[in-house]
Structure formats: structure tokens, C-alpha cells
Amino acid sequence: MMDTTALEAEMTAWRHDLHRHPEFGFEEVRTAAFVAEKLRSFGLDVTEGVGGTGVVGTVQRGTSNRAIALRADMDALRITETSETGWASTNKGVMHACGHDGHTAMLLGAAQVLAQEGGFDGTIRFLFQPAEEWGKGALAMITDGLLSRFPFDEVFGLHNLPGLPVGHLESRPGPIMSAEDNFEITLHGQGGHAARPQTTRETMVPACALVLDLQTIVARRLDPTDVAVLSVTEILTDGTRNALPGHARILGDARSFRPEVSTRIEAEMRRIASGIAAAYGVEAKVSYTREFVPLINDADLTAEVLTAAETVSTQVTEASQPMTASEDFARFLDHVPGCFAFIGNGETSAPLHSPTYDFNDTALGHGCRVFIAIARQRLSNA
Ligand SMILES: [Zn+2]
Ligand SMILES: [Zn+2]
């Protein structure tokens, strides 16, 4: 394995540049141009505008027709940065609070090394996806023909993890991150005087009954060995002092790890909403959307990633539990097997999506070396 120390200063400079100029999902115009310019300077074939602002770089060596993809995300969040580093955001109200600047920089570093030093037999696709935080960027690239225009057999991604020491890598076979579904239930009745509820078909009591009954989906309607979370996060009504509401909106979020569980949650929600509506003489409408699919790692490829990472990490761990956060990388795994893994961002790192968060520059070399090790192991020319 080569020494990436010389590259680390360069990756740090790229990371700081990207951090100063964060862009929201599907608006990564400057970022995409930055990525494309670097990839071209390393000698890759580059296609821009894949799925909006996505960029694909390709490098090919040897004779094998095998192809793998390495993926990074480029988008930032609508969060106002409060830290005062020399590279703090200059785009007010937008911030790289999830470390996608670091992911982009370390994949660029890996692209440079692999393009210039080779050490593999086959094709490597470098995917720089837009709009990860929306859960829309991967699908936009796939819909734009990613898989037929730039075919690959396997796909790999890394995300930094606050709390995990720098140099450590963690992953697990099977489910590792959850699906995220959003729902909105609207109740329509007839509002009226708070002192004469019998003359109304008010929606406050049915809304409250609905919130409680929705809790029976996870507690009583799913297999107890299936992990799921259902959270009602908002109740909005048109009621006011001394007037009962005639409308209510109940909004929330559901997480699960198997499509069957997500389907079941939606079906049970529709059943409960129409039952409550009938019991209280109001109408219910359910809107249920799937924002993120569950991230399911391929077992064999996860074992490969853990083995490859061993050679360039201070510690590699198989995580015992999945997380109930969500990741757009999962969309690629709907089509191609692969593995998503976490690298340490340090024990003192602020949490992801916090206004004081910053990607740890000392993790750039580790992430870069892990990408290179995966590529060389999966496209071994030995
Ligand atoms: Zn995020
Ligand atoms: Zn992220």
C-alpha cells in the first residue's frame, strides 16, 4: 500500500475549499465543477450532469471486464455554521454539517492515486452524487441511466461517524441503516362552539385517539423481532380559543429495515385512520411517502470490505446493531450489491447535522486508503 501522507495536505486543502462553499441538494454547481476539474486533471473520463448535478469519473486498467463503483456525496444542509474556523461556510445558512465535503475530498484523493498508480485490473467508476440529504440524488442518477451508461457490478460508500476514533472502520452485513417513510393524515369534520361539542364533528378528540392508536402498530401489529419506529411529530388544527377544530393534520415519520414492514405499517395506518374516522363521524385521508429505502449490505462484500480495511485501519469492527438513521446510498443497493461502512471522525467530534460539526481532516487519509484498498482487493490483478 502506498503512502498517502503527501496527498493528505492536498485533500485537506480541497476539503476546506468545499467547506467554504457549501451547496444545497441539486444546487451543487460549483462543487460538481470542482470535482470534474480535479478528475480530468488526474486523467479520468468525466461525465457531468448525471441526475442533475451528479458527476461520474471512470478509469480503466488491464483486461478484466469487471467494474466497481466508489461513491461520495456532495450536498450540504440548510444549517447556519457557528464555528469560526478559517474554512467556515461563506454561503450563509448553508453548511457542510454532515461531512460530505470530507467524503468528496477523500474520494478525489483515491481517484488520483488509482488513476496514477493503477494496481488493479478492471474499471472503477467514481460516483459523486447530489442531494443525499433529500434522499433524491441517487435515484436521480439511476433514472438518468447511470446503470446502463456507466455499468458496474458492485458499489461501495463510506460515511464519517462522530464518536468513533479516527482510523477505525465499522460496518455490518445485512441491514445497517433504516428506511424513512413520512406520513400525513388529514381529518375533515365540522368545527364549532367549544361549549356545544354535540353540534360539531370536531377533529381534536379523533386526532388524539389516532395518535394513541398509531402506537399500537409497532407494539401490537408487527412481529416483535422486526425493528421499527413510528413517531407522530406534529398535530396542526384550525381550532382556537372557544372554537373546536373542523380540520386536523397529523404528521410523522416511520423507520424500518424491511420493505414488508414498511408496507405493513402503511396498511395498518390506513386501517386505523378509517376506523377512527368512522367511529367519530369525520373523514380521514392518508398520504404515505417513502423517502429513503433501507440500507442492506451484501454479506460477502461486507466481509471483503472488512478484510480490505484491516490492512489500512487501526481497528475494524463488525457492528452488532443497525442504526435508525437513513442514507440515500441504499438506492444503489436496490440494483447492485455493495457495502456501506463508517469511518471514525474522532471521539470529540460534534454530532452530524450540528452547527458546530466539522469533518476531521485527520480522517481524510484513512478514508482515502480504505477506498483504494477496496478497489485493489475487488479488482485484484494478482
Ligand atoms: Zn446528513
Ligand atoms: Zn451524510
Burial class (CB in 10 A: 0-12, 13-18, 19+), 259: middle
What is the predicted pLDDT for the residue at 6?
84
> If you measure from the C-alpha of residue 276 to the centroid of ligand 2, how many angstroms do you get, rounded to a whole number?
38
The β-bridge partners of 48 are 55
Q: Is residue 4 very low, low, confident or very high in pLDDT (cuts 50, 70, 90)?
A: low
Q: Is the pLDDT of residue 73 over 90?
A: yes
pLDDT, tens only, 121-147: 999 999 999 999 999 999 999 999 999
C-alpha 132 – ligand 2 centre gap (Å): 7
Measured from the Cβ of residue 223, the count of other Cβ atoms closer than 10 Å reads 11
Centre of ligand 1 from the C-alpha of residue 98, in Å: 5
Query: Rounded to an integer, what distance in angstroms lies between the CA atom of residue 236 and that of residue 228?
Result: 25
Pick the ligand that lies closest to the CA of residue 104: 2
User: Which region holds residue 221: left if phi is over 0, alpha if psi is between -120 and 50, else beta?
Assistant: alpha
DSSP secondary structure letters along 229-290: EEEEEEEEES-BTTEE-SEEEEEEEEEESSHHHHHHHHHHHHHHHHHHHHHHT-EEEEEEEE
Q: Which ligand is nearest to the CA of 79?
A: 1
What is the Å distance from ligand 1's center to 341 Cα?
15
Give 173-217 pLDDT, tens digit per residue.
Answer: 999 999 999 999 999 999 999 999 999 999 999 999 999 999 999
- Give the Å distance between the CA of 83 and the centre of ligand 1: 18
Using the predicted structure, report yes or no on whether residue 168 has a pLDDT greater than 60. Answer: yes
Q: Ligand 2 centre and the CA of 171: distance in Å? A: 15
| Mean pLDDT along residues 288-305 | 97
For ligand 1, the distance from its centroid to the CA atom of residue 292, given in whole angstroms, is 12
Distance 117 CA to ligand 1 centre (A): 32
Average pLDDT over residues 243-261: 97
Rounded to 10 degrees, the C-alpha dihedral 342/138/28/99 comes to -10
CB contact at 8 A, 130 and 53? yes
Q: How far is the CA of 233 from the centre of ligand 1 (A)?
A: 19
Looking at all shown ligands, the one closest to residue 340's CA atom is 2
- Per-chain mean pLDDT for the chain: 97
Question: What pTM was computed for the model?
Answer: 0.90
pLDDT value, residue 382: 67
What amino acid is encoded at 26 in this protein? F
